[in-house]
With several copies, the nearest count.
Chain A
Amino acid sequence: MTSPERGALVEIVGSAIDLHRLVAHVQHDGIGAIATFLGTVRDLNDGRHVTGIDYEAYQPMAEAEMRAIAAELGVQWEGLSVAMVHRVGTLAVGDVSVAIACAHARRAPAADAMRTAIEALKVRVPIWKREHYVDGEWTWVDPTLRAVAP
């Protein structure tokens, strides 16, 4: 088991995300709860049939923002361990685009931090996605233009 003091695992990756690696990173003997989040490419978005998504990141800034989010979470919930990994490139329906793991001695901070992390990632981290549809069209998704529940 690893030490609770290790830093956050924060990465932009170009291939499949291994959830076990995130869980292993945040786990240590002092934690009692690990909350994780996986974002996956779904076959329907805003009523359109999706065939795949290209993810693009401004990698150094994306990793800097994710490190900043992890640091802020650690201030809000003392003793929190965090791992955040986002995938870029061409993803198919069902592929995991983002994985987050938050571990804490107690379950409420772990779950609350996980939820806060994904919300922060979605508004701050410079990552973009181009959705491809069955009709051959594609679009860069702009969440500021939509009023869809999270």
Chain B
Amino acid sequence: MMNVPVLVFASYADAFGARTVDVPVPLPCTVADVVSAMRALPGGHRLPGHVLVAVNHAYAKPGTAVDHGDEVALIPPVAGG
């Protein structure tokens, strides 16, 4: 298992009490694996049923691969403008 640092924002940052969460996952893995692992962490129960994830600054799918050096972020419902 590796600890992948995952960026969290807004209400998700409040849920985890941090801006970055170290998530234990085997690498390489998928976006879905990262989200599943995060649900098991303290505060993870506050994530909604569907969570958007970005890998390297682009929206990713559940099956998108995550490996060493990728920048992973959870994207709460956006509200710009």
Contact = CB atoms under 8 A, between A and B. Distances in A.
Interface string A89-129: 00000000110000000010000000000100111111111
A123 B3 CA distance: 31
Interface residue tally of chain B, by bracket? 10 to 19
Interface of B: 7, 9-11, 14, 54, 57-58, 73, 75-81
A118 B81 CA distance: 7
B81 A56 contact: no
Contact of B9 (A56, A64, A122, A142): A56
A128 B12 CA distance: 11
A128 B81 contact: no
Interface of A: 39, 55-58, 60-62, 64, 86, 97-98, 107, 118, 121-130, 140-145
Given A58-B9, A126-B9, A140 B57 contact: no
Decide if the interface of chain A is mainly helix, strand, loop or mixed. Answer: mixed
Given A140-B10, A140-B11, A125 B80 contact: yes
Contacts of B77: 142-145
A146 B62 CA distance: 26
Contacts of A97: 80-81
Nearest to B80: A127
Contacts of A121: 80-81
Given A56-B9, A58-B9, A130-B10, A141 B79 contact: yes
B78 A124 contact: yes
